[in-house]
Amino acid sequence: MKIKTTRFGELKVPAECIIRFVSSLAGFPRHKRFALFPYEVNSPFYILQSVSNEDLTFLMVDPYRFFNGYVFDLEDDLAADLGLSAENPPGVYTLTTLHDKLDDATVNLLGPVLVNWEKQTAVQVTLQNSSFAVRQPLFPEGLSLDRKRDGNRARQTVKSILHDSRREAIG
C-alpha cells in the first residue's frame, strides 16, 4: 500500500503493517487506520502513520527496551475482545513526546497501544490503579554510555522526523 506523508514523502508499506484501531486513539476520533513500522531494523523506535491524514505521524517506542519493570494486567474481557491470548500476545507500544532536548523525551506508559498482529487490530488502553505516568521520562538518568547507541539512533530519528524531507520505502 502506498501512503503519502508530509515527513517521509510517499511510502510503500506492506499490508501486514496496516492496523485498525477498534476504538480511536485518544484525541483522534476520526482516524482509525494507521501504518505501524519500525524506524529501522532492530530500532526500539516505531513510526505510527495515519493512512488517511498525511500530517498525522507519531513516534512510538517498544517500552520493554527502556523499562524492564513495565508490567500490567489486561482485563480478560478486553483480551478476549481483541483476540489476545498466551498464544497470541499483544505487541505493546507507547506514544513518545519529543521536547527540545532528546534527553527530555517522555512516553505515555499509562496509555499503551496494544496490537493484535494476527488480526491487525489495535487499541489504546488506559491502565487503572497503576503507578506509571503519562509523561514518563524516556531517559530518566539521561543518555548513559550503555544507551549511547540507542541514543544516537534516537537523535537520528528526531532529526528525521522534525527536519528531514527524504523519501523512504519500507520493506
Beta carbons of 50 and 57 less than 8 angstroms apart: yes
Q: What are the start-end ranges of the E strands in the chain?
A: 2-5, 9-12, 18-21, 33-38, 45-50, 57-61, 91-97, 106-107, 113-116, 121-124, 136-137
| pLDDT tens for each residue of 79-92 | 998 899 889 999 99
What are the cell numbers at 169? 520505502
- pLDDT above 70 for 56: yes
SS3 58: strand
Give percent of the chain with pLDDT exceeding 70: 83
All domains in the chain, ordered by first residue: 2-163 (2.30.290.10)
Query: Given pLDDT bands bounded at 50, 70 and 90, which one contains residue 171?
Result: very low
- Mean confidence (pLDDT) of the chain: 84
Q: Hunting for cell 531494523 — which residue is that?
A: 41
- pLDDT above 80 for 167: no
pLDDT at residue 139, as a whole number? 87
